Amino acid sequence: MSGPYPAHRSSPGASRRRRSTTIVALLLSVGLVSGCGSSSTSSSAKSTTSAGAAATVPPVSGSITVSAAASLKGVFATLGSGFQKAHPGTQITFNFGSSGTLETQIESGAPADAAAFADTSTMKKLAAKALLAAPATVFAKNLLIIVTKPGNPKGITTLADLSKAGTVALCGTTVPCGKYAAQILKSAGVTIPTWKITRGVDVKATLGAVSAGDADAAIVYVTDARAAGRKVASVAIPAAQNALASYPIAVLRASSHQPLAQAFEAYVMGPAGQAVLRKAGFLAP
């Protein structure tokens, strides 16, 4: 039948155009919904991941005992205060002494959660007996120096001058600072008559012999001489003759508070702890 289509019917072209428009609209609608769903799911996944990660790092609390070399006394007191401030509800107690004495105490079962020594060989003894929870980490280094009475009345300027001094204080032969001193004197070819030597149980006692006036000179760590201030005078040891002391720290296997001990070790190794060590004169590990 010829003539125009009835008013209620549209042309095939117009109908196809409307169907195409409807399909596009539907596709766009589905895309937007899918996109929103994807974003929502992604955000949810991120939230779950973040929450899960946070849950795996529980806050530390409680108290631990750290057996530390005598040369760490001042700086570890500062580190302990900083750690406790950063982690409210924790308490760090220190047991200071010569590394050799502390190692013997730990082997004998003395209560300790972590150990920090002035030499790696002493720490290796604990490792050899499987007393460490994980391998030790060197957190600082140190050099040695000659100290004399204020004003250096004996005029000591070299290691060789020690053989001419009156009384010379050295750490015990099994104490790290005593072993380092022996290494230094041997390297310099210097022999001090045994009757002129007085031995200290640790570096603090050795330095104290000079500051108290009982000895004319001593070989101690740079950091201890620095902490003593004007109580002693300092004479540098040439780099070629000096010894570099390495300080390791480790969590002990017997500790019942290993998470807290590990957190303290991490603090010592971290930026805040390392800044305190540098300020005290310790060298980077």
Residue 166 has pLDDT above 90, yes or no: yes
Mean pLDDT, to the nearest integer, of 36-51?
Answer: 34
Residue 53 has pLDDT above 60, yes or no: no
Q: How confident is the model at residue 7 (pLDDT cuts 50, 70, 90)?
A: very low
Fold of domain 62-141+246-280:
D-Maltodextrin-Binding Protein; domain 2 (3.40.190)
Q: How confident is the model at residue 65 (pLDDT cuts 50, 70, 90)?
A: very high
- What would the pLDDT profile of 105-154 be if each residue is shown by its tens digit? 999 999 999 999 999 999 999 999 999 999 999 999 999 999 999 999 99
- What would the pLDDT profile of 236-283 be if each residue is shown by its tens digit? 999 999 999 999 999 999 999 999 999 999 999 999 999 999 999 999
DSSP code of residue 236: P
Taking the C-alpha atoms of residue 259 and residue 265, their distance in angstroms, rounded to an integer, is 10
The yes-or-no answer to whether 62-141+246-280 and 144-235 have a common fold is: yes
Q: CA-CA distances (angstroms) from residue 154 to 148, 193, 215, 217?
A: 8, 17, 11, 9
Residue 29 has pLDDT above 60, yes or no: no
Residue 50 has pLDDT above 60, yes or no: no
Comparing 54 with 73, the larger pLDDT belongs to 73
With contact defined as beta carbons under 8 Å apart, do 163 and 197 qualify? no
Q: How confident is the model at residue 58 (pLDDT cuts 50, 70, 90)?
A: low
Taking the C-alpha atoms of residue 142 and residue 55, their distance in angstroms, rounded to an integer, is 39
DSSP code of residue 117: -
Written as six digits, the tokens of 169 are 């204080």
In the chain, domain spans: 62-141+246-280, 144-235
CATH architecture of 144-235: 3-Layer(aba) Sandwich (3.40)
Identify the CA nearest to 121 among candidates 94, 100, 96, 143: 100
